[in-house]
Chains A and B, each alone.
Chain A
Amino acid sequence: MALIDDLRRAAPRGQVRSEPALLRAYAQDGYTLAAVEPRAVVWPASAAEVAAVVRVLARHRVPLVARGGGTSLSGGATPVGGGVVVHLSRLNHILGVDTDAAIAEVEPGVVNAWVSQAAARRGYAYRPDPSSQQACTIGGNIGENAGGPHCLKYGVTLNHVLMADVVWADGHESRVGSLSGDGEGVDALALLVGSEGTLGLVTRAWVRLLPLAEADATVQAVFDTVEDASRTVSDVMAAGIVPAALEMMDQLAVSAVERGQFRVGYPADLGAVLLVEVDGLAEQVADEAAEVQAIAARHRVRSVRRAASPAERTLWWANRKTAFGAMGLISPDYYVQDGVIPRSRLPEALDAIGQVGRQRDIRIANVFHAGDGNLHPLLLYDGRDPKDVQRVQAAGHEVLDVCLALGGSVTGEHGIGVEKREDLAHQLTESEMAFQRAVKAAFDPLDLLNPGKIFLP
């Protein structure tokens, strides 16, 4: 157990564990279709301990996987390459919120929602807001370049991380990016964001805060058909409105989420519901909310209204943000897909995805960031039946083929991980894949950081 002893020496204030029961718990993340147990789990207590741990692992030529909240939906934090899980949950301090500079300085294990809450108390917002924000961490958000409903107007994690401290594959450390948000020379931060822990480990990050909008309004529009809802999405955007968020749920998704903790009281027979949030200056918000309602009315909306109070708005969003988990109320298991299409192809995409479901005899619920064209079909299945698992995996790939055929991408925010390595190879040409691999080889020549991700062996 030389490795374990060396790890203990490298992280004296942290913890190193390798009991089988514990290792089983770290064999997976939010993607449940792959599982491999790690050799050990290490909880370093400081950035210096992270670096020391990485150096030990490099010396032993043992691979590692950084882990934040473990909510990745593509298997990003699953140790498929074997090796050691480096859990960053003890680096969980907000080190500063500076409103003059509009920057928060955080450790990677800080939960996303904590940053938003700390900023909001001072009149600011941290905008990337994955629906998992109560559990996922800033380190994991950087790893996956996470998005969320409010990324439509404000951009994804890449647009909000200014600077980071990084431990590289051989254990040496450096600071990348710049507090100004646009440094000089080459920019390793831009490569790190979304690199799924395959290029380096972030041990501290400086993220951009934005002043809270003066006013906002959330409009809820209930439609009889998905087509009418989709046309409303297109027309809202074409009207020159840039909503802060524009989300859609279809009937099956609503039927699940209405059984959950946050019930809105949506009619059971609706076709789709849209939540459209606009924010900005008070006059502009009033005008845009009225216009959204008028556009919905042109598309046979069944009911449309603005949230009457902050409490109602919060309820609508809590209902939407718990939609994935609510699938557990209508199916033993569910598989979340994540693909992107040009927004104008929404009706075609939903139609084609419906066909995949019918052909494979799989129920598919849709909950998604409609304004971004970022689809999240939820494929319902029973994991106890191996045939069902196979069918659902095949259907998942077919859904992504639909996105590619419409000129989109195989992932908008959940990453490639272990799940989409084949799909990435469909999306890119051989030369483009070679370029991607060249980055990995340059930054981690021994393939020690999260091996088995992004690229097929």
Chain B
Amino acid sequence: MRQHDRDSSEAGVAAEALLAEAGHDRVAVLPVGAGVRHRRPEGAWDGIPWISTKFQSIRRWAVPDFSVEADAGLTMASLNAELAGRGQWLPAGTPDGGADTLGGLVSAGLSGVWAGGYGLIRDRILAMTVATPAFGVVRLGAPVVKNVAGYNLWRLYWATHGAFGLILTITWKLAPLPRAAATLECAGDGPGLAAAFAEARRWRSAANAWAALLLNLRGPRWTLAGVAHGGDAHVERLRRELGATVQPQGDLGAARAQGCPVAWQARLPLAGLPPFLEWIARSGAHGLAELQSGVVWGFRDSPDPQRLDEVAALARQHGGSFRSLSEPWPAPSVPAAEGDMWRRLKASVDPQGVLPALGGDAEGKR
């Protein structure tokens, strides 16, 4: 047995003390990040907050191994600013900026604009340190890029809003910063998105690995932006073949939602994406889709932002998932067929129920 090298860091000690106090006093613990998204769970706020932003360091950065362990309270933007100094980055982040904490991103299950070219941020998690009521501070996973030693316990913390414990640190697999980047753009007007989809197909057949391929929808107008990471020669070839405009920087160009906060995120199977986006376009909402990964965001400046239920139902109807990012967060749903198993697991991790609860079955939520 490995020496029980319990996380003796300040965060670990504080988290254990907080959980112990909550257990003793029978009060709830509420994990809080930067507060840029949800502010509290559904129902009454009555408990002790765990404020992750008190801890914002990089714990260990193995530069040659492209991995970094950082506190959950560090923001995406701060981490990437630091990593850039050594030519590395974590290709993650929602279109409205990098103010999310790393722990918040994981707990809320946020996808990034680079999901198409670099994979889901979830798949870049190598390890985590978490504080649990029953098992104390534990390390899950290992700081290596491949590891199948036991169950994938760190995945319990993806999009479950702290129901299984407080995330203290996360170890990420990093990517090298691209050597060159450029954004190609073209735009068009409705009605309908047939022309946009045809153009996107043409772009995908010109290059089947865009760092991001984004369709920005705003009323009848659409913009297609392809971010190419690579060398000048290939950007030049794409520009020639596609007849698109090249934006000087490799950022998201006009597709970036300038300062506009995200209201919701959906993930659609690729086959369900076109009808879903057609609906968004018809509704006049402001949306952004990454066409290789099926991730779609809706923005708060949509003319009619009250229709979250309708958007959620539509995403699910097309086999997708939906996360509201502007409401009190819902408890993570548990399918009825798995209810007993999850309740047993939750009870063994959190016997006194001090952590955020699991929800019930969510009809059609897969």
Contacts and interface: CB of A to CB of B under 8 A. Distances in A.
B307 interface: no
Given A340-B142, A407-B143, A194 B66 contact: no
B142 A184 contact: no
A435 interface: yes
A174 B207 contact: no
Interface string A75-108: 0000000000000000000000010111100000
Contacts, number: 270
Nearest to B323: A184
Nearest to A157: B148
Interface residues of A, number: 98
A281 interface: yes
B338 A176 contact: yes
Contacts of A158: 123, 152
A412 to B, nearest CB: 4
A441 B144 contact: no
A262 interface: no
Interface string A225-238: 00000000010011
Given A240-B179, A344-B62, A429-B4, A187 B155 contact: yes
Contacts of A445: 344
A307 B45 CA distance: 64
Interface string A164-198: 00001000111111111111111110110111000
Interface stretch (B28-36, B50-58, B264-272): B264-272
A370 to B, nearest CB: 12
Identify the interface centre among A175, A214, A239: most chain B CB within 10 Å of its CB: A214
Nearest to B236: A283
Contacts of B177: 240
Nearest to A174: B337
Contacts of B139: 429, 432
B249 interface: no
Contacts of B268: 180
B160 interface: yes
B271 A185 contact: no
A428 B136 contact: no
A355 to B, nearest CB: 21
Given A174-B337, A343-B65, A432 B140 contact: yes
Nearest to A235: B64
Contacts of B345: 438-439, 442-443
A435 B155 contact: no
A178 B319 contact: yes
B334 A442 contact: no
Contacts of A195: 151
A303 interface: no
B152 A194 contact: yes
A448 B338 CA distance: 17
Given A429-B1, A434-B135, A435-B349, A281 B209 contact: yes
A419 interface: no
Nearest to A281: B234
A425 B341 CA distance: 25
Nearest to A124: B208
B84 interface: no
B321 to A, nearest CB: 5
A98 B341 CA distance: 33
Interface stretch (A6-14, A18-26, A143-151): A143-151
Q: Is the interface of B mostly helix, strand, loop or mixed?
A: loop
Contact of B333 (A173, A186, A374, A407): A186
Nearest to A190: B155
A234 B338 contact: no
Contacts of A102: 270
Interface string A151-163: 1100110110001
A239 B66 CA distance: 11
Contact of B148 (A159, A234, A412, A434): A412
B153 interface: yes
Contact of A184 (B136, B175, B322): B322
A184 B4 contact: no
Interface in B341-366: 341-342, 344-345, 348-349, 358-359, 362, 365-366
A436 B122 CA distance: 20
A409 interface: yes
B49 interface: no
A324 to B, nearest CB: 17
Nearest to A340: B144
Contact of A436 (B65, B153, B341, B359): B153
A242 interface: yes
Contacts of A414: 148
B296 to A, nearest CB: 10
Contacts of B135: 431-432, 434-435, 438
Contacts of B143: 342, 407
25 contacts: A98-B271, A177-B366, A179-B319, A180-B269, A186-B156, A186-B160, A187-B159, A199-B151, A211-B208, A214-B208, A214-B209, A237-B64, A240-B87, A241-B176, A287-B233, A340-B147, A342-B67, A409-B149, A410-B149, A426-B1, A429-B5, A431-B136, A431-B138, A432-B135, A438-B135
Given A186-B333, A429-B4, 16 more contacts: A156-B146, A179-B269, A180-B319, A180-B321, A182-B120, A183-B365, A184-B333, A187-B155, A190-B156, A190-B158, A369-B146, A409-B144, A412-B144, A432-B138, A436-B150, A440-B151
